[in-house]
Homo-oligomer: A and B are copies of this chain.
C-alpha cells in the first residue's frame, strides 16, 4: 500500500505490516549502497525509509536512540571512547555525547548520504555533529573494527539496519570477535537485536555469536518502538565483564534531558519476559 496517502512496510515473513499516513514524499535517491526515501507524515513528523524499511521518524525515534545508548553508557564504569557503527541519522551520536565522561565518539556509517539527508530532514538529531568530541567517518564499519588496535574503544554501539544488505556482516561472530579484540578491559558491544515477538531465532543467533566471540556477559534490553515491526524492540549488550550492575547514582542524577529514559526505565528494560527466560535458560 504505497499509495499517495500511506507509506507501508510489509514484512511478509512475519505476516505483519505497519503504515504511516503521509502528506508528501520529500526526497528519494539511490545512494551507492541503498535506496533512500524521506516522507513528510501526517502525525509522525518526517520519516526516513531505507530499502523499503522504516528507519527513523521525528516523533518516536527517542525510544530507540535513548535505549541503545544510555543503558550501556551507564553500565560501563567510565566510558570515554565510543564508536557507533551505522547510526548515520546521528541520533545515537547525540545521545552518546550527552555523557560528560565521553571524550571521543566516532560514528562510522558506510553511507554518507544517510547523514546528509538527516542534516536536512532531521536537524534535531544532528545537533551534536559539530561537538569537538564527534568524529563522523563514512567508511566500512566492519573493516574499521577489524583493523583497529587493541584497547582502542570502550563501547561499540551497532546501530544498524536489519541483518540484510550492507549490515549482514554486523551480526556475525567474526565481527564480534574483532570487536572483542579492540575493546578495553570493561568493554562492551551494544547491538540492536530486533523484536522478541517476531525474531527469537535471530536473537538467539546474535547472543550465541557474541558469546562465542568472548563477549560472554549478555543482557538483552526491551523497549517500545512503534516504527519497528511489532512495536516492541530490543538491544543486546555483550560485555567482556559483568553487566549486572549499572551506575545508578549517576543515572538518577543524569545531567541531561531525555524523553523516555530514566533510572526506572533503565531497570525496566532489564526485566526478562518469562518466555525469554525459558528460551535462553536465564
Contact = CB atoms under 8 A, between A and B. Distances in A.
A12 B21 contact: yes
Given A43-B16, A230-B224, A271 B261 contact: no
B267 A267 contact: yes
5 contacts: A15-B41, A18-B18, A197-B226, A260-B273, A268-B270
B15 A44 contact: yes
A138 interface: no
A266 to B, nearest CB: 8
A252 B197 CA distance: 24
A245 to B, nearest CB: 16
Contacts of A8: 1, 17, 19
Interface residues of A, number: 44
A271 B264 contact: yes
Contacts of A222: 224
Contacts of A264: 270-272
Nearest to A276: B260
A246 to B, nearest CB: 14
Contacts of A257: 274
Nearest to A22: B15
